[in-house]
Amino acid sequence: MGAAADIGIGRNLTVAVAIGLLACAPREDGASGAASQELGAGWVDVSATLDPAKTPVYEGDAPMKFEFLREIRKGDIVTLSALSMGAHSGTHIDAPMHFVADGAPIDQVALDRLIGPARVIDISDSVRTIDADELNRHDWKSAKRVLFRTRSSLRGWMGSPEFHRDFAYIAPDAAQLLADAGVVLVGVDYLSSEEFGATAPRTHQILLGRGIPIVEGLDLRPIEAGEYEMIVLPIKVAGHEGAPARAIMRKTRD
């Protein structure tokens, strides 16, 4: 499906999403223990909840600190908060600027890449390296947006404060295949798509170098493999390399 058609889907779905948000309510997924939100009309929130007590932070990244400056429950006339966190907290989008010197910042990432059909691919719990061989074991080549549901979802790591170094990652040869095939967005269910401790950020350089935004930190526990409509929108921060995002998905077919 072309970019114009993808944008058309996004425009047509905006009203449905807005209506759904008015009635959203937390739901506990019995099979996985995942706290998700049903937004109505089949939409599911796949964003990690930002909570300093529960949300993992990539090792060495800025910690999350949320505080109330004023509170009605303490006698103030207003409740007012201050939020401090890194740009790559929770569910977030890496813009090309993250690893490309002249790459676009997050506020200039084209929306047609962030809205449209997406394919979720299940990766076994035993697999840490999503390399070209592993990628080609799955049906991915007709997808415009590819999301990997890995051991991180199976183990609930996006809902656990401990940072796990042994998350599944996309190897550079798989990133090259995705980029060469014309994929417009890649997503993973932990805080990075790159191997922890990699000597060079080749996966990021390959994807971002082609202008392909990377969605990291998705909470895919309530999601199964298959075809979806997806909307993932970052905070509109001028001139920076990434930003937290809200992501929702709706199943279209198996």
pLDDT digits (tens, 9 = 90+) for 105-153: 999 999 999 999 999 999 999 999 999 999 999 999 999 999 999 999 9
Count of the separate structural domains present in the chain:
1
Q: Which of 88, 92, 98, 204 is the catalytic position? A: 98
- CA 84 – CA 236 distance, rounded (Å): 16
Told to judge if 88 belongs to the known catalytic residues of this protein, a careful annotator would answer no
- Choice between 16 and 239, residue whose per-residue pLDDT is larger: 239
**What's the whole-number mean pLDDT along residues 75-86?**
98
Query: Is the confidence at residue 102, as pLDDT, over 90?
Result: yes
- In this structure, are residues 152 and 123 in contact, taking their beta carbons and an 8 Å threshold? no
What proportion of the chain, given as a percentage, has pLDDT over 90? 83
Q: Which domain holds residue 91?
A: 3-253
Q: What average pLDDT does the segment 72-96 reach?
A: 98
- DSSP E strand boundaries for 15-114: 25-28, 35-38, 43-45, 65-70, 80-84, 92-94
What mean pLDDT do residues 238-253 have? Answer: 96
The string of pLDDT tens digits covering residues 145-196 is: 999 999 999 999 999 999 999 999 999 999 999 999 999 999 999 999 999 9
41 confidence band (pLDDT: 50, 70, 90) = confident
Region 23-39: what's the mean pLDDT? Answer: 47
Name the strand (E) or helix (H) holding 179: helix 172-180
Residues 61-73 as b/e (b if ≥16 CB within 10 A, e otherwise) read beebeeeeeeeee
CA distance 16 to 167: 35
First to last CA, the chain: 18
CATH of the domain at 140: 3.50.30.50
Indicate whether 33 pLDDT > 50: no
Residues 6+ apart with CB under 8 A from 199: none
